[in-house]
Amino acid sequence: MTTAATALLHGPLLEQTGVFRGNALLLTGPARVGKRDVALAVAAQHNCTGTRGMYGEACGGCPSCLALAAGAHPDLLLIEPRATTSTGKAARRKIIPIGAILAARDKAREYETHVFEFLEVRPTFRRRVVVVDGAEHLGPEAANALLKLVEEPPHGALFVFLAEDRRSVIPTIQSRSARLSVSPAPDRAIERTLALTGEAPDAELVAFAAGRAGVLEGREAVRAALTDAAEFTDALATGLLTALEAAERLEKRWDATWHPEALRFTWRTHAPQARARADAALDALQDALEAYASPSLSFQVFGLNLREAFGES
């Protein structure tokens, strides 16, 4: 998301981060609310060499801002939970290991750049910034290794920790960070952000976003998931065979990021008791998929359970 769009959504917050001169920030807020976009905007603020905007946001046109927009800023390091295990399989438990901090402990080379080595180099522009997206997933060794760096960052570096819940971040990181909340934006700001991209108004997308700017980043996938969810839900009332065929189609298009939420959004008009039963059926489906059960059978059972939940069986 552009700096201008982030300022539109989170301007008052950027007014605070723009004048921050401490060592560490802890940004908390719901999933997809736009924490990473705010963190990138903070990195832009602290390296911008141009004229700031009305909220103190970066100019968007200086060499530093252009490098950030291109995804190749020399003074920015993003650390996330590992995506795979040492054997190459998808990691089932999110963790930021000690190997993200120290190259010598990254035997599987899961991280291209490591925090200690990154901070040994002086900034190209003004300030090196380390964004830890998923601070609640810092392993104990990784968190302890970061503490001294956070207390005395080389070359005046800035740490920006992101987490959904402040209480899930270890106390030693919390106590060394200034804590700010990234709140959902008003629907009108979401609409104006969409307009910046040249898109027509989309009431359903805005309602689904519920103020979470991160939803806009995946809006095409969201729209597809909403369409799938509506078609699948409608098919449940048509007949058993139609419902099972729809479950098969949904399996082939399943996106674990968006489809569960799109289904729950589609069910919002049903009675509370029916929604509760449908939610339980969806939880059972997700548990089965995570346990590597037969996807085909799992979706068939899901369709049957939903028909019963909505009184169609």
> Rg of the chain over CA atoms, in angstroms?
22
Q: How many CB atoms lie within 10 A of CB 130?
A: 25
Residue pair 149/116 in contact by the 8 Å Cβ criterion: yes
Q: How far, in Å, CA of 32 to CA of 116, rounded?
A: 29
pLDDT (0 to 100) of residue 92: 56
- In tens, the pLDDT along 37-56 reads 999 999 999 999 999 999 99
Residue pair 186/213 in contact by the 8 Å Cβ criterion: no
Cα dist from 219 to 194, 199, 208, 241, 288, whole Å: 10, 11, 10, 31, 27
- In tens, the pLDDT along 270-305 reads 999 999 999 999 999 999 998 888 999 999 999 999
Mean pLDDT of 158-185: 95
Q: How far, in Å, CA of 283 to CA of 280, rounded?
A: 5
The answer for 311, left when phi > 0, alpha when psi is -120 to 50, beta otherwise, is left
pLDDT (0 to 100) of residue 228: 97
Give me the phi and psi of 160, to 5 degrees please: -125, 110
pTM summary value: 0.85
Mean pLDDT of 215-229: 95
Q: How many CB atoms lie within 10 A of CB 72?
A: 9
Mean pLDDT of 244-251: 96
- In tens, the pLDDT along 105-116 reads 888 888 889 999
